[in-house]
Structure 1
Amino acid sequence: MNLVHALSAALLLLPTVPAVAGSISERTTYFMVQGTTLDELNNSFGRGGPLLGGGERHGGKTAVTFTPAFDYAERQGGCSVKSASVRLNVVTTLPKWSPPAGATREMTILWRTMRDEIATHESRHAAIAKTWQARMENEIRSLPPRATCADMKRVADMAFRGDLAEHDRAQRNFDRVESSVADTRVKRRIDKNLGQFVLR
């Protein structure tokens, strides 16, 4: 099973919608996984996991939406940013498994290790989005004044769109790095957790 989960990020630009500076909304949804063996769990991921880019299903998903609200003010013959806030909405989708009667203790340990790995991976995506939320607000607030408010708005919108692209690249870079180490790390954790169970 490939335990690396690509990010699906919905990037929404709605400058006219008000938002509280730094506001963050987070929600977690779950999809059910079934099976009593590792192969059955893997197959269940493939059937019911969240759809990401390329039409593939994965073990987890983090969807983020940035909604900006920028205000401008005329000052001394020019126009500057009066306020800048970006609302961040994060929806994380994680797997949920209720061990059936035939599930072994070893299978439960395997599941918990996989579940924790998926949850940690998706939380890192959320953390990246939160970092970029603050960067977006700070960058817009620090933009120098322009001759007119129309020019100021155009520059701010352009800067915001550039930050969205940089955020997306940061998320992809994280997945790229994870793809080279995640499977080895998970195998090591499984061996450790199973070894502790055997020693009891």
Structure 2
Amino acid sequence: MTRSAASRLFLVLLATATLASTGANAEVVIRKSIRYFTVKGATAEQLDDALSRHGPKTLASPMRHPGATRIKFGGSVTYAETGHLCRVDKVLITLSTQLILPRWNRPKNASKGLAMIWNTLAADIKRHEERHAEIARNHARQMEKSFSRLGAERSCKVLQARVAEVSRRELDDHDRDQARFDRIEAANFESRMTRLMRYRLSGRSAQD
């Protein structure tokens, strides 16, 4: 998983004076896309090497990975002045996620056993990256709620500072949740793959 460095600037803070309204209008806009990269190989060693050479890089590590999710937060907050108070008027949170997944160009001489291993691994990679995107979506919705719940302040400058503080806190929480998920996944990788392979083998035996 990687989060765009630009996400640290994800709020365009517009301190504009508008007419009073009954409450903050909020919206979360989410976009998701998938990009594939091709790997080739007729053996497990060749596939492992292909993933190491062609997999995506992340901001957190110079190493290449079997998959990644690029995450970018954006949006805007506008303010309304009512009398001597300033409050949040409109909140727009945008989230763009791009899953980067491997696609095997299977050669004719690749064994059925290797195909089963690859299908198991590829499915697990996709599940892993989908979960990263889900975590980001949950935090985008939480950001919208946090901004909308901010109370009025004596000036828009003070409220803008509070919005900036909340944005930093929410992004830090997002980063921690993503890192925690990666740690858990890494610790359980071998046992998870063993369990998945046994499940596929049992299903295959039942069909034979």
Contact 2:70 2:99 in 1 (8 A): yes
Structure 1 17/74 Cα, relative in aligned 2: closer, same or farther at 3 Å?
closer
Confirm whether residue 33 of structure 1 aligns to residue 39 of structure 2: yes
Q: Distance in 2 between matches of 1:122 and 1:89?
A: 14
Unaligned ranges ≥5, structure 1: 1-6
Among 168, 171, 181, the alignment partner of 1:174 is 181
SS of equivalent residue, structure 2 residue 100? strand
RMSD: 1.6
Q: Distance in 2 between matches of 1:164 and 1:54?
A: 19
- Shift in Å at residue 151 of structure 1? 1.0
- Shift in Å at residue 188 of structure 1? 1.6
Structure 1 14/192 Cα, relative in aligned 2: closer, same or farther at 3 Å?
closer
- Shift in Å at residue 37 of structure 1? 1.2
- Shift in Å at residue 15 of structure 1? 3.0
Query: TM-score, normalised to structure 2's length?
Result: 0.88
**Structure 2 equivalent of residue 62 of structure 1:** 69
Among 115, 126, 150, the alignment partner of 2:157 is 150
Contact 2:13 2:160 in 1 (8 A): no
Structure 1 137/50 Cα, relative in aligned 2: closer, same or farther at 3 Å?
same
Q: Distance in 2 between matches of 1:17 and 1:103?
A: 55
Unaligned ranges ≥5, structure 2: 15-25
Specify the code of the residue in structure 2 equivalent to 1:47.
R
Q: Could you say which structure has the larger radius of gyration?
A: 2
Residue identity over aligned pairs, in percent, reads: 28
Among 11, 16, 32, the alignment partner of 2:12 is 16
SS of equivalent residue, structure 2 residue 12? coil
Superposition pairs for residues 110-149 of structure 1, below 5 Å? 110-149=117-156
Structure having the larger proportion of residues in strand = 2
Q: Distance in 2 between matches of 1:14 and 1:162?
A: 13
Q: Distance in 1 between matches of 2:41 and 2:49?
A: 9
**Structure 1 equivalent of residue 18 of structure 2:** none
Specify the code of the residue in structure 2 equivalent to 1:85.
L
- Shift in Å at residue 82 of structure 1? 0.3
What does the per-residue CA deviation read over 1:1-53, in whole Å, with 9 as the maximum and x for residues that have no partner?
A: xxxxxx211124243389x8211111111111111111111111000000122
- Shift in Å at residue 135 of structure 1? 0.4
Total equivalences in the alignment? 193
Contact 2:27 2:93 in 1 (8 A): yes
Confirm whether residue 96 of structure 1 aligns to residue 96 of structure 2: no
What does the per-residue CA deviation read over 1:138-187, in whole Å, with 9 as the maximum and x for residues that have no partner?
A: 00110111111111111111111110111001100111111111221112
Confirm whether residue 106 of structure 1 aligns to residue 106 of structure 2: no
Confirm whether residue 86 of structure 1 aligns to residue 98 of structure 2: no
**Structure 1 segments (4+ residues) deviating >6 Å:** none
What does the per-residue CA deviation read over 1:39-79, in whole Å, with 9 as the maximum and x for residues that have no partner?
A: 11111100000012221111100011110210100013110
- Shift in Å at residue 195 of structure 1? 4.1
